[in-house]
């Protein structure tokens, strides 16, 4: 397909996205949810999912063209259309480096980054990086791979716990909140992983006695994993 035709398709999708946008939604994104809206239109994610529902997927050419627009919602849509098999490490690194808000970071992790070949290797690669949203993306990938329906093995997730322990002290909220998310999801995946996650939390509390971020990561995870509601839910999982 010619580059001109691909750009035309992207502009058509962008026009559809704009059609369902509103200043009120954009304001809510910014003020209620803390989303970076400098390049956003104000279109709900639920609407984006409906817009891509009837499209052939994957469509890497369209995904690349949408990403290149720089528009917040178009990039979220790109993560829904991209082909994990065609996302090379250079391209993944390029996309990750341009993440600028927690929502697009987490949606890209769930829609795309967690579905590429060897996603936990990718997560480790990004966690070693210093950029705020690149590191967050690494932990968001772990969180996505720790949900009950994910086929990630217990052994693979246990190997991620040292990374969680080592970076729980990151003072940046966008990072340590994702560290906490990954820890909680590992603990909730099944009853066998719960004690592993709780042990990791205990190690964090021992290791970072005076670090506010780390203590929140650990104590919040312990609170959730020990709550009666969560314990009952996890007990039903295989």
Low-confidence ranges of the chain (pLDDT < 70): 1
- Pick from 156, 193, 226: which is nearest to 218 by CA? 226
Q: CA–CA separation, 200 vs 134, rounded Å? A: 23
- Joined together, the tokens standing for residue 126 give 């990004």
Q: Tell which residue, 45, 221, 204, has the closest CA to residue 146.
A: 221
Residue 58 neighbours by CB under 8 Å, 6+ apart: 81, 82, 83, 84, 86
Instruction: Say what the pLDDT of residue 1 is.
Output: 67
Q: pLDDT per residue over 125-136, tens digit each?
A: 999 999 999 999
Per CATH, which fold does 99-238 belong to? 1.25.10
Q: Is the dihedral of CA 147, 151, 154, 156 positive or negative?
A: negative
Percentage of the chain lying above the pLDDT 90 cut:
96
Domain ranges of the chain: 1-82, 99-238
Q: DSSP states of 61-109 as a string? A: HHHHHHHHT--HHHHHHHHHH--GGG--HHHHHHHHHT--SHHHHHHHH
Q: How far apart are CA 140 and CA 177, in angstroms?
A: 10
Number of H helices, E strands in the chain: 15, 0
* Residue 220, pLDDT score: 98
Host H or E run for residue 131: none
According to the model, what pLDDT value does residue 177 have? 98
| Angstrom distance (rounded) from CA 232 to CA 166 | 30
CA distance 157 to 190: 12
Tens digit of each residue's pLDDT (9 = 90 or more) over 89-134 = 999 999 999 999 999 999 999 999 999 999 999 999 999 999 999 9
Cis previous bond, 69, omega within 30: no
Answering whether pTM is above 0.85, one says yes
């Amino acid at each position: 397909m010619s580059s001109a035709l691909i750009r035309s398709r992207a502009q058509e999708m962008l026009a559809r996205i704009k059609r369902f946008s509103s200043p009120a939604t954009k304001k809510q994104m910014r003020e209620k949810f803390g989303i970076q809206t400098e390049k956003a239109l104000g279109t709900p994610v639920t609407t984006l999912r409906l817009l891509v529902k009837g499209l052939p997927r994957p469509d890497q050419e369209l995904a690349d063209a949408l990403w290149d627009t720089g528009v917040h919602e178009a990039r979220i849509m790109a993560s829904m259309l991209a082909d994990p098999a065609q996302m090379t490490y250079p391209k993944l690194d390029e996309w990750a480096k341009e993440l600028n808000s927690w929502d697009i970071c987490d949606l890209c992790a769930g829609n795309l980054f967690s579905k590429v070949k060897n996603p936990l290797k990718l997560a480790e690669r990004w966690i070693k990086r210093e950029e705020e949203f690149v590191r967050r993306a690494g932990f968001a990938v772990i969180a996505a791979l720790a949900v009950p329906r994910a086929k990630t093995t217990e052994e693979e997730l246990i190997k991620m716990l040292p990374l969680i322990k080592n970076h729980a002290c990151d003072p940046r909220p966008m990072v340590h909140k994702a560290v906490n998310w990954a820890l909680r999801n590992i603990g909730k995946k099944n009853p066998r992983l719960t004690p592993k996650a709780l042990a990791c939390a205990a190690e964090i509390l021992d290791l970072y006695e005076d670090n506010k971020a780390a203590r929140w990561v650990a104590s919040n995870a312990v609170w959730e994993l020990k709550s009666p509601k969560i314990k009952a839910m996890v007990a039903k999982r295989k």
